[in-house]
Chain A
Amino acid sequence: MPVSKEKLEELTKAARRVRRHIIEMTAEAGSGHPGGSLSCADILVALYFHEMKIDPKNPNWPDRDRFVLSKGHAAPTLYAVLAEKGYFPKEELKTLRKINSILQGHPDMKKTPGVDMTTGSLGQGLSAANGMALAGKLDGKSYRVYVLLGDGELEEGQVWEAAMAAAHYKLDNLTAFVDHNGLQIDGPINQVMSPEIIQDKFRAFGWHVIDVDGHDFEDILQAIEEAKSTKGRPTVIVARTVKGKGVPYMENQVDWHGKAPSREQAEEALKALEG
């Protein structure tokens, strides 16, 4: 089903708002991970603004689609999306990483409405998503489970334990995204510890694999449709992304993995994100 021009425009605008939140939030917090938050913004917008069956007024609705942010350091993206969807007031975004905030440095399902799983320690999200997908199958429910992994995160052994299990239990109600921005804290993933070839590895583990441009909504939405119609095995969507996407001085710069912009830098970034 082709996506309408209006829809694409709506998503593009939402993604711009989300990116602006990410910059404002991390600048206000004085810490955080803007690079990897910006790289996955379009994926989360596609899911929350188009695909997922959710009810922001009823965050714990049992039949909702689930989302697990396995790369929990991209919490600003999730919080921005949830605030935009109305799970909590946008003013809360200013409290990111501050004492007593509902917005912890990494996602906390007990503190933030709309967060389906507590994450932050890398490698653990896919296992939790598997559990949700198994529960869905067991209960005969039609909800779907989405999980986003970082490419550096694929270096964690638990990811592959979980990948094996998802295929073994034929979790076709589960779709994983890999935010393939090519960078991790210490440098390019291929220099630190190459997880390549990511597609071949997932294929070998029994997954259906789709490659997309992680900043192209048509591409992302089409891949999600393909994942939904794939039966008998889980799907991974390997999304080529740009770390720091949308902020020219952050793009593809490893230094912006875990550093907040200063006030001036934030202003410059927000200017680039106008429109």
Chain B
Amino acid sequence: MPKIATREAYGEALAELGEEIKDIVVLDADLSKSTKTSVFAKKFPERFFNMGIAEQNLMGTAAGLATCGKIPFASTFAIFATGRAFEQIRNSICYPNLNVKIAATHAGITVGEDGATHQSIEDIALMRALPNMTVINPADATETKKAVRAAAQMKGPVYLRLGRHPVETIFGEGYEFKPGKGVILREGRDVAIIATGVMVAEALKAAEILEKDGINAMVVNIHTIKPIDEEVILKAAECGAIVTAEEHSIIGGLGSAVAEVLSEKKPVPIKRIGIKDVFGMSGKPEELMKAYGLAAEDIAEAARTLIISKP
């Protein structure tokens, strides 16, 4: 399967949907070539608004458009969308529950060479804390396309977390995407790996590594971090040990969300793979994944350690 960045899939999906859903309007903050909203802009120039390098106004304008029945997709890099304009998202979008889709690209450390200032590792935590917000982190190009469509079709604010770097395509065209529903990609009984976004591919690789060690790992894709699929997490917990994997801080993201469910409903040993409360740095995406302990081998190692502590 070819490697495609989720931002590329977003750009294509948006341009396709624009044909079908005339209420879709797109706003960007001078990064349309990078976020790929430029594809939509070229096709529907009258429905594309470049807001310049002004993210607070970007979100506020999207909110205003939504009050008039438009379906705005507001795009920029994840760090600026969720960090710079956090309070605008909170007060002008989520509190009035307006139909704004925040599709943020360049999330996580796989931004690569640009370094820590541009590597968003807190965005899931920030967006997940907001009432009314749906948080979706697609794993590949196929899932992204389906998620963009689902976001456009659902009412209310959605945060779509997208990446810069090309990732393996995991899902075929027939893949069914249901917002809020986790997907068991591989059955297993010794340990469950619950992953999101680009870490889903790593989780699948980790399961193969573990297989060689005679460990049978379940792999669950959580594309919708909020609302989270408690049912699938509790099913995974039947393995008796859970490893979570995300390209995000271990504070406040998928690992936290899963731990919240488990600690209240079915406590089992858990290990969180993610960025361990530090900032990123410049480097090639693959180098960074290794340097920050996000590679398949890191997941496998966490699983091995965890299995020993199983009750």
Is A135 part of the contact surface with B, judged by Cβ < 8 Å?
Answer: yes
When the two chains form their complex, are residues A124 and B92 in contact, meaning their CB atoms are under 8 A apart? yes
User: Nearest-CB distance from A104 to chain B (Å)?
Assistant: 10
When the two chains form their complex, are residues B57 and A135 in contact, meaning their CB atoms are under 8 A apart? no
Contact with A along B85-96 (1 / 0, CB 8 A): 001100110011
Q: How far is the CA of A129 from the CA of B64 in the complex (A)?
A: 6
User: Nearest-CB distance from A95 to chain B (Å)?
Assistant: 20
When the two chains form their complex, are residues B65 and A134 in contact, meaning their CB atoms are under 8 A apart? yes
Closest to A136 in B: B68
Q: How far is the CA of A26 from the CA of B99 in the complex (A)?
A: 33
Is B56 part of the contact surface with A, judged by Cβ < 8 Å?
Answer: yes
Contact with B along A206-226 (1 / 0, CB 8 A): 000000000000000000000
> Which residues in B have their C-beta under 8 angstroms from that of A66?
67
- Cross-interface CB contact of B64 among A108, A127, A139, cutoff 8 Å: A127
When the two chains form their complex, are residues B59 and A127 in contact, meaning their CB atoms are under 8 A apart? yes
Contact with B along A120-135 (1 / 0, CB 8 A): 1101111111111111
Is B267 part of the contact surface with A, judged by Cβ < 8 Å?
Answer: no
User: Nearest-CB distance from A61 to chain B (Å)?
Assistant: 12
When the two chains form their complex, are residues B97 and A131 in contact, meaning their CB atoms are under 8 A apart? no
Closest to A117 in B: B67
Selected interface stretch from A33-41, A162-170, A239-247, A254-262 = A162-170
When the two chains form their complex, are residues A132 and B64 in contact, meaning their CB atoms are under 8 A apart? yes
- Cross-interface CB contact of B91 among A120, A126, A131, cutoff 8 Å: A120
Is A185 part of the contact surface with B, judged by Cβ < 8 Å?
Answer: no
- Cross-interface CB contact of A135 among B54, B56, B60, B64, cutoff 8 Å: B64
> B residues 44-73 with Cβ under 8 Å of A?
46-47, 49, 51-52, 54, 56-57, 59-70, 72
User: Nearest-CB distance from B69 to chain A (Å)?
Assistant: 7
When the two chains form their complex, are residues A124 and B46 in contact, meaning their CB atoms are under 8 A apart? no
> Which residues in A have their C-beta under 8 angstroms from that of B60?
124-128, 130-131, 158, 162
User: Nearest-CB distance from B157 to chain A (Å)?
Assistant: 13
| Given A127-B59, A161-B56, also A132-B96 (CB < 8 A) | no
> Which residues in B have their C-beta under 8 angstroms from that of A133?
64
Closest to B95 in A: A118
User: Nearest-CB distance from B127 to chain A (Å)?
Assistant: 18
- Cross-interface CB contact of B56 among A120, A129, A131, A157, cutoff 8 Å: A157
Is B25 part of the contact surface with A, judged by Cβ < 8 Å?
Answer: yes
When the two chains form their complex, are residues B91 and A165 in contact, meaning their CB atoms are under 8 A apart? no
User: Nearest-CB distance from B197 to chain A (Å)?
Assistant: 30
- Cross-interface CB contact of A121 among B25, B46, B69, B91, cutoff 8 Å: B91
When the two chains form their complex, are residues A117 and B64 in contact, meaning their CB atoms are under 8 A apart? yes
| Given A124-B88, A135-B64, A135-B70, also A161-B57 (CB < 8 A) | yes
Q: How far is the CA of A34 from the CA of B12 in the complex (A)?
A: 52
> Which residues in B have their C-beta under 8 angstroms from that of A129?
64
When the two chains form their complex, are residues B87 and A134 in contact, meaning their CB atoms are under 8 A apart? no
> Which residues in A have their C-beta under 8 angstroms from that of B66?
131
Q: How far is the CA of A245 from the CA of B207 in the complex (A)?
A: 72
> B residues 26-50 with Cβ under 8 Å of A?
46-47, 49
Q: How far is the CA of A5 from the CA of B19 in the complex (A)?
A: 54
Is A109 part of the contact surface with B, judged by Cβ < 8 Å?
Answer: yes
> Which residues in B have their C-beta under 8 angstroms from that of A169?
49
Most chain B C-beta atoms within 10 Å of own C-beta, residue among A126, A132, A168: A132
> A residues 78-123 with Cβ under 8 Å of B?
108-110, 116-118, 120-121, 123
- Cross-interface CB contact of B96 among A62, A109, A131, A139, cutoff 8 Å: A109
When the two chains form their complex, are residues B54 and A132 in contact, meaning their CB atoms are under 8 A apart? no
Is A138 part of the contact surface with B, judged by Cβ < 8 Å?
Answer: yes
> Which residues in B have their C-beta under 8 angstroms from that of A108?
95-96
When the two chains form their complex, are residues A164 and B52 in contact, meaning their CB atoms are under 8 A apart? yes
> Which residues in A have their C-beta under 8 angstroms from that of B57?
127, 130, 158, 161-162, 164-165
Q: A124-B92, A127-B57, A134-B65 are in contact. List 4 more A-B contacts (CB 8 A).
A: A110-B96, A126-B60, A127-B64, A128-B92
Which B positions have Cβ atoms within 8 angstroms of A? Answer: 25, 46-47, 49, 51-52, 54, 56-57, 59-70, 72, 87-88, 91-92, 95-97
Q: Please name 6 pairs of A and B residues whose Cβ atoms are closer than 8 Å in the assembled complex, sorted by A.
A: A128-B60, A130-B57, A130-B61, A130-B64, A135-B67, A165-B51
